[in-house]
Amino acid sequence: MTVTLEAAEGVGTLRLDRPPMNALDVATQDRLRELAEEATRREDIRAVVIYGGEKVFAAGADIKEMQVMDHAAMVARARALQDSFTAVARIPKPVVAAVTGYALGGGCELALCADFRIAGENAKLGQPEILLGLIPGAGGTQRLSRLVGPSRAKDLIFTGRQVRADEALTLGLVDRVVPAGEVYEQAHAWAARLAKGPAIALRAAKEAVDTGLETDIETGLAVERTWFAGLFATEDRETGMRSFVEEGPGKAKFL
Residues classed as catalytic: 109, 129
- The amino acid sitting at 115 is D
How many CA atoms lie less than 13 Å away from 57 in the CB half-sphere? 34
β-pairing, 47-51 vs 95-99, is parallel
Spatial CA neighbour of 171 closest among 138, 139, 144: 144
DSSP string covering 32-93:
HHHHHHHHHH-TT--EEEEE--SS-SB--B-HHHHHT--HHHHHHHHHHHHHHHHHHHT-SS
109 with 183: CB under 8 angstroms? Answer: no
How many CA atoms lie less than 13 Å away from 95 in the CB half-sphere? 26
Which helix or strand (DSSP H or E) is residue 170 part of? helix 165-171
Long-range contacts of 74-82 (CB under 8 A, 24+ apart): 77/26, 78/137, 80/26, 80/29, 80/30, 81/29, 81/137, 81/138, 82/137, 82/138, 82/139
